[in-house]
Structure 1
Amino acid sequence: MASSRALYDVIVIGAGIEGSSCAYNLAKEGKKVLLIEQFPLPHIRGSSHGQSRITRYAYSEAFYVRMMVDCFPMWAQLEKESGKDFFINCGVLDIRDRTASAQKVVSSLSAYDIPHEHLLARDIRRRFPMFNVSDKDQAIYDPNGGLIRADTALAAFQKVFTQFGGTLHDKELVRNVKPGSPAKVVTSCSVYAASSVVIAAGPWTGKFASELGLSLRLQPIKVIPMYWRIKPGQEEAHQSGKFPCFIDTRGETKGSFHVYGLPCEEYPGLVKVANHVGAPCNPNHRDLLDEDDSWVIDQVKQNVVDTFPGLEPEPAIIESCIYTMTPDNNAYIDRHPKYNNIIFAAGFSGHGFKLAPAVGKAVAELVTGREPTYNMKPFKIGRFDTLAKL
């Protein structure tokens, strides 16, 4: 193994969307940054690949709305810096069957003066006739939301990161992190030293945490993006000009999780509709066939049959991805409680892509010791008491 004497200001482990945003933000501040990725770039082995992700202001938690207030202009700035357009403003429809949960979203959006509409069932049918809803249903419409072309956005972060002087190594496995001042990062190719280390390794983060004496509640799960064929004559109604991204939480009252979807912007003639849940998995063996996958697919089939008369009732394409879940679906964005110069950014629970610009900003503030812009309490490592400890 070769040995490197180079001392970096920061080493970021993991070049997914969160790690790439962290590296980009730090390099933009003039830091000497090394970003390390175990797989050849681009790749489909983690959580950041694919053609699309939903982005929205609409959250029931006000602290997320505050982060999204920054994220939208930060995404736009990245588009300018990279010369790539990756945001499609098709709106987001947040469908609910409980007044209380809808009101939480309205309250959070109102707190930051975010434009939105609270739609009753008759309003949904009139505005979006391709959605079949019951009389008790309602929705929050977020007109400024839409979709991000994920692969393009990820590549944009990495491109601009290197333009700001950052160093990107792919095909390089990190074997371990050795705490100290400086900290050492041992890889399959070399040993690097840095004043700070950011661990943003997605479903592989638990390994590093454990080796550093830290028990984090992180559970990788296999999720199954699915694509459904549009019936003949219904194609125009399912394009991004008319069909919004959507989140459908009505199933939560029946013991299932929520379904989400995006318009026909990836595969020709297909709409993406999938379940925001899956079975536990080993990230190194994600694609093994598993009988537990069937219930996930069946739930989405039922949603498609009930809600989308313009779509065929069987999926045309089935893919796989990984979420890294925490018990409360909030990530860890915090310092190691013992090693102050090691920072974790992981456990984004399937909704972190849109938040990546703010996550990068928050991590840069942790690295430099600046006052945090956002409410970081929901992301603290110690919030589960004995479940996240040394």
Structure 2
Amino acid sequence: MAMYDAVVIGAGIEGSATAYTLAKNGQRTLLLEQFPLPHSRGSSHGQSRITRIAYASDDHYAVMMKEAHVLWRDLERESCINIFENCGYLSVGTPEDPFIKDTLTSLRKHGVKYDIISHNDIKSRYPMINVPASTIGVLDHSGGILRADKALSAFQECFKRHGGTINDGEPVLQVIPGDVVTVKTSKSTYQTSHVVITVGPWTTKFLPSLGLHLPMKPIRISVHYWKEKWRGQYSIQKFPTFMYGSVYVMPCFEYPGHVKACLHDGPEIDPDDRDAVNTNYVTETVQKYVSEHLPGLETVPSVTETCIYTMTPDKQFILDNHPRWKNIIIGAGFSGHGFKLAPVVGKLLSELVLRRQLSYDLTKCRIDRFLPPKHQL
């Protein structure tokens, strides 16, 4: 029976970042994935994610993002893969909007270069955005696009270079706790000193067998691509990533001549039956948004894909030891904003495995915030 220092279950971006960090720290590490890689069934596929340093309401993530930005650059150098496209991130809202106020506070506090753009300047700089006269823009120069598929591949390839092993197409059937943890899969049985569980939307199905019932819900995100009416108006050379209201927008990057515009919400699903829900209201909401605010785009999406968020009630991550078995570590509930922070998440989960001093205060990410007082440690 194979013995490892650590077994990471789930090879999405958070699990892959964690496995990479553990292997880089000399740990004999196995990374298990239930599906053949690469796949599009979870939360880490696709070619792009928005990234930025400023966080409007969660300053502890802004602090982490400063390091994440550095670590992404480090991964680029180690892997020789281009991961970050620095086209900027534009927040749009009224000057009184708490989102705008908090974004400015975060940018100033963390010394991030930014511009405040008047409504007239928005029209001048970005004529293909139509927003109300009452709005302003805040351009975060640190923002842009992470090449998601390249980032995932970089972590996995560098993990293997550091001696790590990836077994894909191997679902985990059982985790048996103990001083030495036994992990039974569809193909084999492994023993390990530590297990890290990063199974994304399957967390709510996986954890009850370990006595945990956490209030997370997977939701389906419809990812729409909208064709330009005039080619080049929304190119990455001219157009930033931006968010106004609950819709986020990326310039033409993945599909030639197509803008990515998505609602930051969706219906609750079973990750094993994600297409069973009706998402017409999501498409209709974004369609109305595109018609009103992006006049240079066709009003019917050319391509629609699917992603999954795993939401916690407070939209804070779960990064913690199991309340009973400290050698079982859980990373979950990334609530639609975990990808950009993956290098730091991997570092923190590795610190929990290695029992090192944590680099950040994880009070807001503890499991016991969801447990009755008598179960809190």
With structure 2 as the length reference, what TM-score do the two structures score? 0.96
Q: Where does structure 2 lack aligned partners over 5 or more consecutive residues?
A: none
2:272 to 281, 284, 297: 284
SS in 2 for 1:318: strand
1:388 Cα deviation (Å)?
Answer: 11
- Report what 1:295 is aligned to: 281
Decide whether aligned partners of structure 1 residues 169 and 387 sit closer, same or farther in structure 2, where only a CA change above 3 A counts: farther
1:35 aligns with 2:21: no
Match for 1:74: what amino acid?
Answer: L
Q: Is the 8 A contact 1:62 1:111 kept in 2?
A: no
1:77 Cα deviation (Å)?
Answer: 1.0
CA distance in 2, matches of 1:385, 1:43: 34
- Report what 1:66 is aligned to: 63
Which one is further off, 17-26 or 207-216?
Answer: 207-216
Percent of counterpart pairs with the same letter?
46
CA distance in 2, matches of 1:329, 1:13: 22
Q: Is the 8 A contact 1:68 1:355 kept in 2?
A: yes
- Report what 1:86 is aligned to: 83
- Report what 2:310 is aligned to: 324
CA distance in 1, matches of 2:347, 2:93: 32
Match for 1:11: what amino acid?
Answer: V
1:150 Cα deviation (Å)?
Answer: 0.8
Give matches, 1:1-390, under 5 Å.
Answer: 5-60=1-56, 61-97=58-94, 98-232=96-230, 235-249=231-245, 258-288=246-276, 290-291=277-278, 293-386=279-372
Match for 1:207: what amino acid?
Answer: K
Q: Is the 8 A contact 1:215 1:388 kept in 2?
A: no
SS in 2 for 1:131: coil
Q: Is the 8 A contact 1:177 1:208 kept in 2?
A: no
Q: Is the 8 A contact 1:220 1:282 kept in 2?
A: yes
SS in 1 for 2:299: strand
1:109 Cα deviation (Å)?
Answer: 2.1
Matched residue pairs, number?
374
Compute the RMSD of aligned alpha carbons.
1.5
With structure 1 as the length reference, what TM-score do the two structures score? 0.93
SS in 1 for 2:372: helix
Q: Is the 8 A contact 2:7 2:196 kept in 1?
A: yes
CA distance in 2, matches of 1:84, 1:355: 18
Q: Is the 8 A contact 2:130 2:294 kept in 1?
A: yes
1:41 Cα deviation (Å)?
Answer: 0.4
Q: Is the 8 A contact 1:35 1:169 kept in 2?
A: yes
1:237 Cα deviation (Å)?
Answer: 2.2
1:387 Cα deviation (Å)?
Answer: 10
SS in 1 for 2:302: strand
Decide whether aligned partners of structure 1 residues 388 and 343 sit closer, same or farther in structure 2, where only a CA change above 3 A counts: farther
CA distance in 1, matches of 2:325, 2:371: 18
Match for 2:29: what amino acid?
Answer: V
TM-superposition CA deviations, 1:57-101 (whole Å, max 9, x none): 121121111111011111111111111112111111112234332
1:119 Cα deviation (Å)?
Answer: 2.7
1:389 Cα deviation (Å)?
Answer: 5.7
CA distance in 2, matches of 1:389, 1:238: 52
Match for 1:173: what amino acid?
Answer: P
